[in-house]
Chains A and B, each alone.
Chain A
Amino acid sequence: MAEKKVRVLVGKIGLDGHDRGAKVVAQALRDAGMEVIYTGLRQTPEQIVEAALQEDVQVIGLSILSGAHMQLIPPVLEMLRDQDSSDIVVIVGGIIPKEDLAYLKENGVAEVFTPGSTTSDIIAFINKKIEQDQ
């Protein structure tokens, strides 16, 4: 039986329009054999969670470069918990200061990829995480 493809939602949360990173990552994940759903710009935390549940993804990748991560990412984690879906792996990419990074990881973000990270790091992380969870 063919192995089931990993399903990933790549989302741009908040108002910032910097989607180069999100699109490059989405394309790299797809080339690595994953099913990728890209949300486009200006998603609210509610829209992200709704899309993730509807699309039945195992991973949510959130891209944010506007500095609003501390206001927008914790609600995503909270809603996932409320919906009994904390098994969805949440990863974040963007300009995230060190102290915020620690907070986000303590509160349920699996990993944060800051500038200079490679797509192969991200792919490797997802594969490892999914394997562990199975």
Chain B
Amino acid sequence: MSDHDKIDEIKKAKEAWQQQVEKVIEKRPERKDFKLDSGEPVERVYDPLDMEKLDYIEDLNWPGEYPFTRGIQPTMYRGRLWTMRQYAGFGSAEETNQRFRYLLDQGQTGLSVAFDLPTQIGYDSDHPLARGEVGKVGVAIDTLADMEILMDNIPLDQVTTSMTINAPAAVLLAMYMAVAEKQGMPMDKIGGTIQNDILKEYVARGTYIFPPRESMRIIVDIFSFAVENIPTWNTISISGYHIREAGSTAVQEVAFTLSNAIAYVEAALEAGLEVDQFAPRLSFFFNAHSNFFEEIAKFRAARRIWAKLMKERFGAKNERSMMLRFHTQTAGSTLTAQQPDVNIMRVAYQALSAVLGGTQSLHTNSRDEALALPSEHSVLLALRTQQVIGYEIGAADTVDPLGGSYFIENLTDHIEGEVMRYIERIDEIGGAVEAIEKGFIQKEIQASAYEYQKEIEAQERVVVGVNKFQTSGEQPMDLLKMDPATSQRQVERIKEVRLSRDQGKVSDALQGLRKAAQSDENVMPHILEAVKAYATLGEICGVLREVFGEYQQQITI
């Protein structure tokens, strides 16, 4: 029997089956209209008719083979599990260093630094705008002295470190390099990631400093500096995570992230870099949200789209330039303050979707994060969740176990199509920078966020413990308490550093930085010099603020 005959046979059988279904529905109607988070209807069942157009080699291929739909390595987790990397940081460098060492002792395999808001926005801890914020959502780092304490007794050649830092990414990278140098590490032995993704800050995360075009210039400076000086470092982590947290759909998350990625690639090409020089060091960061299958398909689709974009649009020749490597974090916005232990289950399913989607590293949120920063016990449970997925349940034993599923392949195609439609629209607007300046991306995200909230309030979207299955009388939890003296100690430390350093060296380095910023000389070597002279983060960013100006937020509501 030919394929064509087989398809005809299936079609006929399906018609007969559908008649049966009609009868069943007459007696017992279905519970509701089913749809994806992106709004698309979900069919009753998927079958070979949905896969008629699928070409195995062209669309899927084997793991480690273009377009990498099934994964970027041939053996995936059979060779090595994903990196278990919990985002952590609070209070002072001492406290965070302790939490890092605790996590490493518990089997965590990489570090991920959360910085406080003044650090992320380039203010020293004693700046008036830092009032109340020092050490709150992350660790306060003002000078190299703090970074030395943060990484104390952590061998930087054995762990990789991811730093969630954007506008001042160059400064924190320079501090990390300076610490590694003091530990005697050659620069090709240290590995890690700086987030360095400013475009999503304007639309979703808010820790911008400079205007978009000036920020893009700093980012390209970092790319080209890294090619020469720190070749194994991931110079950017292009992030959909926060776009999703801000309320986008799964499709928008991938579309806006990849549009941003296109903007970075174009900026680097314009500055004269070759695509295969820097593209292998681009990395990505996605959200693992609650719609299990949609999320798995999202990761697969993102990989396929990126591979095609790099090969077809940018003419990459090196396969490493086409591989979308990504970190995943479970969706913070799905955590509930009500019945917080239920969050453990939410996180576990979200984490499983990331693993089935082929993530390279993973952060699992803690159950108490809708209430406070996580306690040590809650973080341990979150890490153990990953270890159960990796070691107990067999989910990591074969590559892309859901590949070939009628539903998953259909969803993967669907998401790819929708994402490409958005990317084309953004291209028409003139690219991501233009689309952000016009407020297009912000408005799209906002509309989805508002829709989502309305669905919850109309009970079309069930949130267990919030709009259904509520209980009264919540059990109190042991939450992390911040030490109120941290902020004062941090202010004292920065004052001491300012008094004990060689002031002449600091001024010279800052002057050099100013000149570089005003010309087209790479700013990175000057930042490194300033950092080594113990210039503060606020001083360095202050010089750049004077030269580049500050971004004024667009109010799009």
Contact = CB atoms under 8 A, between A and B. Distances in A.
Interface of A: 14-20, 23-24, 26-28, 36, 38, 40-42, 44, 66-72, 95, 97, 114-116, 118-120
B263 interface: no
A18 B133 CA distance: 14
Contact of A118 (B120, B206, B372, B457): B457
B206 A71 contact: no
Contacts of A19: 206, 246
A109 to B, nearest CB: 16
Interface of B: 117-118, 120-121, 129-133, 136-137, 201, 204-207, 245-247, 333, 335-338, 370-373, 446, 449-450, 453, 456-457, 463, 466, 479, 482, 553, 555, 557
B457 A97 contact: no
Contacts of A28: 450, 453
6 contacts: A16-B117, A16-B206, A24-B453, A71-B132, A95-B371, A95-B372
Contacts of A42: 121, 129, 206, 553
A1 to B, nearest CB: 29
Contacts, number: 97
A69 B456 CA distance: 27
A96 B30 CA distance: 41
B557 A38 contact: yes
Contacts of A38: 555, 557
Contacts of A66: 117, 133, 136-137
B133 A68 contact: yes
B117 A15 contact: yes
B446 A27 contact: yes
Contact of A20 (B121, B131, B136, B247): B247
Nearest to A97: B372
Contact of B457 (A44, A95, A120): A120
B436 to A, nearest CB: 14
A95 B446 contact: no
A35 to B, nearest CB: 13
A26 B335 CA distance: 22
B372 A20 contact: no
A20 B449 contact: yes
Contacts of B553: 40-42
Given A38-B557, A40-B553, A116-B337, A15 B457 contact: no
